[in-house]
Structure 1
């Protein structure tokens, strides 16, 4: 299969009245699930069922689908942590602290093919907007395996989404404020996972702040960048290709000026929501051929999608619900 080529992209939009559809998850049977402020997780095409007794200031962010049909949701608001959502629609605490540390600002949770859960906490700062300063790097990655939960990588500049490389040997993480895509080699001894030293895969600029990511079947990394509203592919050889660009040059320049003085104002981040992609923040491959690319956003009320020449990598949850 050839590398994707640059050409005009036709966008389609799905759903309506979505509430902060930040994260997207797709299954083989055609299910498209999005994080939703009111429902926790909402399947497109189904009626919204509000959460029953959610915790105060519950902000569903990244989420994982388990084999039995329950969801694990990273709570970016309030007390943070990872919460389980079952058929009762009543969220229950799943993991609220790790190594005696409160998990405020939990950003993402992911299930891998070995049944391990990988969790990112973007910062220890309260409120989290304090970590929009590039001098602060206190985010971390935790793992849950058969030996329990523990921190396996620390000192990340706003840790965001993470994914396992299709080969299984690397964990890739976006540092949103560090503006880097980084990776860690995964080591495992007797079922206990650890991570090697951090390696930089790509550094971003020109208003690009990496948020979500997904792998295609060729090993390329597709990265959604807030503020610039770009989707960028980093090839296995490190070459950058802009797949989709909905940026505003003036806004990009303002973000760069802010960043040069160490911090980006929250208002600048929010200005990206005025673009058509509404601060694109996540990428998910779906469709029967894994060539439909769904895009989550921080400020949209619908999901955007387009067709890709290259198929996505099949994730651990792909066959769940089939």
Structure 2
């Protein structure tokens, strides 16, 4: 493609850095398989915030991570043990909702918004999750962790729920539905969601939206696995490819597996992409949030490039996390 931004990389030795966060201080935090969160400091030092960790007798597989105002983290554990975990300088522990007998199934994403609400997405109730890699399985849902640590489902019947973003300024909650290959939205105000989701953007074949993020002007970005592409989407739902590494033969083979009901983990645990490696999320870095850093499923570092549209301040932008954990580089 023409006018593709120049790509550099941050971090090294990362393990499935699926979700990425950035703060005003210049620190980057990303999920790290088997442990929890890796911190990448502006000077290049890296700190693993937790060593090897198990929950429910299985290694933790952090998918989404959220930074809270007190500098601690929430982890959406997507291993078969499921649940939401808490991480701080004292270690990892189950969130109260994950400590109960009716613990959440594998959780995909967790997000603490500017009102202090904690959103959780579950892609599917099926185990293993690969049984939900289908065009006709729509049992994902969105829930809220309430102030009393109870859990309420606010949207269901979704097509493999992935990341979400509340946009209170414009009155929408945006939701990525990966195997629906679409972004939906539902009306939102401070009291909660209103009505049923509506289609915002239907992507074409091979475009499996995973991570989404607001821009600073009413639009969105979408990071897509399989095709290894990042799109900017304007408020009228018109997408523009920012950067991508689509391999036509690979995309066609994955689409064929989806049609044949044979899609499984092999279609996500490998990719012909060399630079973007199944990008799956994004965050804005820099004082004016004019650079994009991408989480990904298969790389050991994070791609970084200029943002065509700057990002807004995320709720955690000004949180200062003291240095803790084990320095690994």
TM-score clears 0.5: yes
Contact 2:216 2:310 in 1 (8 A): yes
Pick aligned residue for 1:72 from 52, 71, 74: 74
Alignment CA distance shift 1:41-1:49 (3 Å): closer
Distance 2:196 2:184 in 1: 10
Distance 1:251 1:90 in 2: 38
> In the alignment, which residue of structure 1 is the partner of 2:236?
237
Distance 1:207 1:91 in 2: 38
Matches within 5 A, 1:22-101: 22-44=18-40, 45-51=45-51, 53-55=53-55, 56-96=58-98
* Partner SS, residue 91 of structure 1: strand
Deviation at 1:188, TM superposition (A): 4.5
Distance 1:316 1:58 in 2: 26
Distance 1:91 1:195 in 2: 34
> In the alignment, which residue of structure 2 is the partner of 1:143?
144
Distance 1:263 1:39 in 2: 31
Give the gaps of 5 or more residues in structure 1.
Answer: 1-5
Distance 1:229 1:24 in 2: 16
Q: How many residues align?
A: 313
Pair 1:15-2:11 in alignment: yes
> In the alignment, which residue of structure 2 is the partner of 1:281?
280
Distance 2:24 2:50 in 1: 25
Deviation at 1:186, TM superposition (A): 1.7
Deviation at 1:263, TM superposition (A): 5.2
Distance 1:128 1:259 in 2: 14
TM-score, length basis structure 2:
0.89
> In the alignment, which residue of structure 2 is the partner of 1:174?
176
Contact 2:211 2:280 in 1 (8 A): yes
Contact 2:122 2:162 in 1 (8 A): yes
Contact 2:182 2:201 in 1 (8 A): yes
Q: Deviations over 1:265-310 (max 9, x none)?
A: 3322333264321111001111111011000100110011101132
Moved more, 256-265 or 311-320: 256-265
* Partner SS, residue 179 of structure 2: coil
TM-score, length basis structure 1:
0.91
Contact 1:58 1:78 in 2 (8 A): no
Deviation at 1:31, TM superposition (A): 1.1
Q: Deviations over 1:192-216 (max 9, x none)?
A: x344201111111231100001111
Deviation at 1:256, TM superposition (A): 2.3
Q: Deviations over 1:130-149 (max 9, x none)?
A: 10011111110001244642
Moved more, 15-24 or 256-265: 256-265
Q: Deviations over 1:54-80 (max 9, x none)?
A: 312310110111111110000000321
Distance 2:19 2:237 in 1: 25
Q: Deviations over 1:150-171 (max 9, x none)?
A: 0000011110001112615211
Alignment CA distance shift 1:256-1:52 (3 Å): closer
Distance 1:306 1:159 in 2: 27
Q: Deviations over 1:177-199 (max 9, x none)?
A: 1111011112454xxx3442011
